[in-house]
Structure 1
Amino acid sequence: MRFYKIFTTLSFVALLSSCAAVNYSYDGKVFKDAYSSIKSEELKENLYVIAADDMEGRDTGSPGQKRAADYIINFYKNLNISHPPEMSSYLQTVPADYMNKKSRRGETFNDSANILAFIKGREKPEEIVVISAHYDHVGTKNGVVYNGADDDGSGTVAVMEIAEAFKQAEKEGHGPKRSILFLHVTGEEHGLFGSSYYADNPIFPLKNTVADLNIDMIGRDDADNRGQNYVYVIGSEMLSSDLKKINETANAKTNQLILNYKYDDPNDPQRLYYRSDHYNFAKKGIPVAFFFDGIHEDYHKPTDDPEKINYVLLQKRAQLVFATAWELANRKDRIVVDKKQ
């Protein structure tokens, strides 16, 4: 009996020591394995489906958008990443009435849906890090399909790959300390409808939402940065003095992209801080960072096709978002909200 107690105690101590030895830093094997799982060829494979002609430009509430949603959901199912337990499926319906009331151009819409996938945190599951992208585009005009490979097929597949990376770490016994919500929103092109609806009808209390990392166009370059390894980062210090520092450290420890803050100003003439889905989180006092490649020559044109994507650069940018999310999810303390809009 005494030997059994000693053995049990030693086993328990060994178990604790093993858990304590897990290195969640950027130099640790856990992070490196997950980070390396984000691959350009997998991003390309998924984007050629999301931005294919048979998706018909993924207009809000269209059959093509629903086919894209089915593909995204099946991706998560195959990875064994479920929807939030508070939901009965991956879909959060965004009613037509909600969008029609917000329509700025007199447009009318069919019901559409946000897609929510979820990995529960190990230590602080009630705290949520959101990684978002819109999966809609502008549809078909005069019989011509606007495929929206960069806008925002690139963000869509990046979120999918980032989810796979977090899932790999979880399968190895090192899931995130905080929960991660992978949020694919609808209706961005017509007025940020999906993110607005989620912010008005959150699945998790917004007070528990740590940050939103929003990805909208990260597969191309613009004329000012042609051929460079860069990404625009917008809004990362608007509400939190922590978030910009975390993102810059993540970048320095990984691919060392050029972080361009040209548009990181609410008074910029392009007003990009207000023009993507992160803004509906920022309005609620949630720290945000918006990752963006700039306005290029195929923006909102039928020539925004998957063969024009720089998949190596797309991989590097997706890895940066993952590295930033990794720190947000695994650091000891939740980031501060110490600034106001």
Structure 2
Amino acid sequence: MSTGETGVAGRMIRMRARWVVGTALLAAVTLAAQGTAPAPGNASIRATDLEADVRFLAGDGMRGRLTDTDGNRQAAEFISSRFARLGLSAVGSDGTYFHRFDLMTTGLGDDNRVRLRVPGLLPRDPQLGDEFYPDPASASGASGGAVVFVGFGIVAPALGHDDYQTADLAGKVALMLNHEPGEFDADSRFDGVVTSEESRAVRKILAAQAQGAVAVLLAPDIHNHPGRPGLTRPMRRVWPDQPPHVARYQLASWLTAVQIPVVQISADLAERIVEAADRSFGELAAAAERHGGIDAVELPGPRVEMTTSVVRRTVPNRNVVGLVEGADPRYRHEWIIISAHYDHEGTTGQRIFNGADDDASGVAGLIEIAEAYAVAAREGFRPQRSILFAAWNSEEQGLLGAWAYTRAPLHPLTQTVAVLNMDMIGRNEEIPAAGGPRFRGLAPQTAESNRNAVNILGYSRSPDLRRAAEDANDLTGLELKFRYDDNSSNLLRRSDQWPFLYRGVPAIFIHTGLHPDYHTERDRADKINYAKMARIVRMVHQLSWNLAQNSGRPTYSVP
């Protein structure tokens, strides 16, 4: 702790010195010249300062910054103290620098039962673990009723798909398939061959609940995954006998909205339910592929009753936020978000996953850009639009901090001009020839081939933002690569810009790429290319300034 405080003090002394040195340059910058001259404060972004922050955040003392650990909380306090020292406005919960939200973990309770009733036959009790188990999103309770097949259970108006268009679910049990239509179809409207957001189980459950369902049965997709008689995932992988090393967090606001029992069932059990109504589960699964959504199928005869017991534990959590308010009353209500995530993977035994590139690099860049705006403000230069600096938490658990923000934003998303997300900006992309599943979909390439390269993702959702990034790069001369938006690596959906893109906000992901040290204990501060990283941070700062000053704003395009 004392070392970190000394480092901060030293940085503040250097910052004051740079204010004096940079005065002449900053005075020469005018709003009219923003496209060709460096943004005010841009020269204050230095490799030595970035390195100091990366080494602190990725030091062994932070113990890998895992969610809900002392190291994670220490990182949040460090970032908030920096925001305060730089004069950012505290716009978080209760006038703080924290945007608070809750996570939730779940545990398997003691009373989980399913009973299948078919007229004329004795009731049948499927076996827990072999034929069913409660879904982690399930509420605790007991319910049951007649069964209605609703295909994949998806409502996606933007894609013209609604599996409930003819459904009457009031007081009934919804039977639906896991996953999504056209799962292996590159031309599928559900994001091609990558997993779409619409296939998230909790979204399907909430859609069925909204239609009046009293319970949900989730069954394997035997059309896209033929020959799978059992469960979609074995119970031991969902409810392991021993608690996992890293808790499986979910967003509390999602789970608390689920008020009905939900169980995963085997394909064999689904077949028995459907056969009791003289239908074929295989035929229904094939029909669920219909473009636009299925006509719901009532299954007269069988009734399913279930009791679920799931123990929910709430975990308080927080993002770190600070605002530079815009100077122009016409535009200050429009916000630009610059972001990075401060959590990482923690420790395993004696191994510390320091997360220097992932994503201490992005957080250091975030702080350095905030400092550039502070430098500019002292010299009389303020952006026309407001700039929110956001350090998200729990990205490694499923982008949960960013999802929490989009569900409860500090400012309307309709008034959010763009999101610039920095995640892993300190290395050169390096994909080994036999790298395994971590590098699925990525072509082998050397670090040397990417020595001046940075990937920009999200470009297909906003060509305007792509052009703005290219313009901002004129002064830094990086090789911007636009190549991974539609890639089986699913990189576009693996960092915190994704929740904003899903909500229709123009957003880009600035990312130097994966490498063999990704998510290992070798991702340490001495591996970072700080000179290259400084150029990337200057480019992002320039882009944010240009977006803040331009009268127009980038548009979102449906891909």
TM-score range, shorter chain: 0.7 to 0.9
* The structure with more radius of gyration: 2
Q: Residues 214-269 of structure 1: CA distance to partner in whole angstroms, max 9, x if unpaired?
A: 1110000122252321100011231x2311111001112x111111122132xx11
The count of aligned residue pairs is 317
**1:88 aligned partner:** 95
TM-score by length of 2: 0.54
2:34 corresponds, among 25, 37, 57, to: 25
Please state whether the residue corresponding to 2:332 is helix, strand or coil. Answer: strand
Is residue 317 of structure 2 the alignment partner of residue 112 of structure 1? yes
Aligned-pair Cα RMSD in Å: 2.4
| Unaligned residue ranges in structure 1 (runs of 5+) | 1-17
**2:359 aligned partner:** 152
**1:15 aligned partner:** none
Q: Which has the higher strand share?
A: 2
1:244 corresponds, among 453, 459, 466, to: 466
TM-score by length of 1: 0.87
- Over 3 Å counting, the alpha-carbon distance change for 1:85 and 1:142 in structure 2 is closer
Please state whether the residue corresponding to 2:387 is helix, strand or coil. Answer: strand
**2:496 aligned partner:** 277
**1:325 aligned partner:** 544
- Over 3 Å counting, the alpha-carbon distance change for 1:81 and 1:193 in structure 2 is same
**1:8 aligned partner:** none
Q: Residues 306-325 of structure 1: CA distance to partner in whole angstroms, max 9, x if unpaired?
A: 01100001101111111111
Q: In structure 2, how many angstroms separate the alpha carbons of the residues matched to 1:219 and 1:237? A: 24
Q: In structure 1, how many angstroms separate the alpha carbons of the residues matched to 2:399 and 2:39? A: 34
Q: In structure 2, how many angstroms separate the alpha carbons of the residues matched to 1:207 and 1:264? A: 23
Q: Which has the higher helix share?
A: 1
Alignment of 1:246-265 (within 5 A): 246-252=468-474, 254-265=475-486
1:230 corresponds, among 432, 439, 453, to: 453
Q: In structure 2, how many angstroms separate the alpha carbons of the residues matched to 1:105 and 1:88? A: 39
Is the Cα contact below 8 Å between 1:24 and 1:330 reproduced in 2? no
Q: In structure 2, how many angstroms separate the alpha carbons of the residues matched to 1:85 and 1:58? A: 21
Is the Cα contact below 8 Å between 1:237 and 1:243 reproduced in 2? no
Please state whether the residue corresponding to 1:96 is helix, strand or coil. Answer: strand
**2:519 aligned partner:** 300
Is residue 291 of structure 2 the alignment partner of residue 69 of structure 1? no
Alignment of 1:123-202 (within 5 A): 123=328, 124-202=331-409
Is the Cα contact below 8 Å between 2:335 and 2:418 reproduced in 1? yes
Residue identity matched to 1:204: H
Please state whether the residue corresponding to 2:88 is helix, strand or coil. Answer: coil
Q: In structure 2, how many angstroms separate the alpha carbons of the residues matched to 1:98 and 1:118? A: 31
Following superposition, the deviation at residue 67 of structure 1 comes to 0.5
Is the Cα contact below 8 Å between 1:96 and 1:108 reproduced in 2? no
Please state whether the residue corresponding to 1:41 is helix, strand or coil. Answer: helix
Is the Cα contact below 8 Å between 2:321 and 2:389 reproduced in 1? yes
Following superposition, the deviation at residue 131 of structure 1 comes to 0.6
Following superposition, the deviation at residue 113 of structure 1 comes to 0.8
Q: In structure 2, how many angstroms separate the alpha carbons of the residues matched to 1:336 and 1:195? A: 21
Q: In structure 1, how many angstroms separate the alpha carbons of the residues matched to 2:39 and 2:500? A: 30
- Over 3 Å counting, the alpha-carbon distance change for 1:98 and 1:169 in structure 2 is farther
**2:424 aligned partner:** 217
Following superposition, the deviation at residue 22 of structure 1 comes to 4.9
- Over 3 Å counting, the alpha-carbon distance change for 1:251 and 1:141 in structure 2 is same
- Over 3 Å counting, the alpha-carbon distance change for 1:105 and 1:193 in structure 2 is farther
**2:558 aligned partner:** 340
Report the identity percentage. 34
Higher alpha-carbon deviation: 272-281 or 106-115: 106-115
